[in-house]
Amino acid sequence: MKWQDLDRENCSLARAMAVVGDRWTLLVLRETFLRVRRFDEFQENLGIARRVLTERLKHLVDHGVLEKVAYSQTPLRYEYRLTEKGLGLYPVIISLVHWGDAYYAGKKGPPLLHRHKTCGHDFHSVLTCSECGEAVSPRDVVPHPGPGARKGAWDGRLTD
């Protein structure tokens, strides 16, 4: 499997990685969830080269994760906003942040906490079953071929 061919794999993770699997892309997404919208703010916060940032923002716009919205007509300037598709990445980003907090935060603890507005408590990510609401861990899951699987592709790989 070649990196440039990920978007053609019959694997949802590989196809997703083709869109967000670059380290700068993930950091751009982090900034968008911290409500950064303008090019200069991204560049200042990330210390990223203008060319690289331009490429990553264009990539995310081309894939419908961000949309470019004009905020000034004279001169013409744009900001980048998360689309519904982009907002769907929140569980991925927050889970990575909380994983980083657990294993790399250092002695003082996480640099940023996340407070749930509704209840007022700081929270950590928990994966739950959409059907019963119970917490789910890797040992609680049995993968099986879905409707998009190629015939025979998973034979012998997936077991109870």
Predicted confidence band of residue 154 (pLDDT cuts 50, 70, 90): low
| Strand ranges for the chain from DSSP E | 66-73, 76-82
Structure tokens at 15: 């196809």
Q: Which whole-number Å values give the CA distances from 141 to 49, 96, 99, 128, 134, in the listed order?
A: 42, 20, 20, 11, 12
The domains of the chain, with CATH numbers, are 3-140 (1.10.10.10)
**How far is it, in rounded angstroms, from Cα 103 to Cα 100?**
5
Q: What is the pTM of this model?
A: 0.86
- Average pLDDT, whole number, for the chain? 90
Predicted confidence band of residue 7 (pLDDT cuts 50, 70, 90): low
Task: State mean pLDDT over 50-66.
Answer: 97
Task: State mean pLDDT over 5-12.
Answer: 70
Q: Which whole-number Å values give the CA distances from 145 to 148, 155, 158, in the listed order?
A: 8, 9, 8
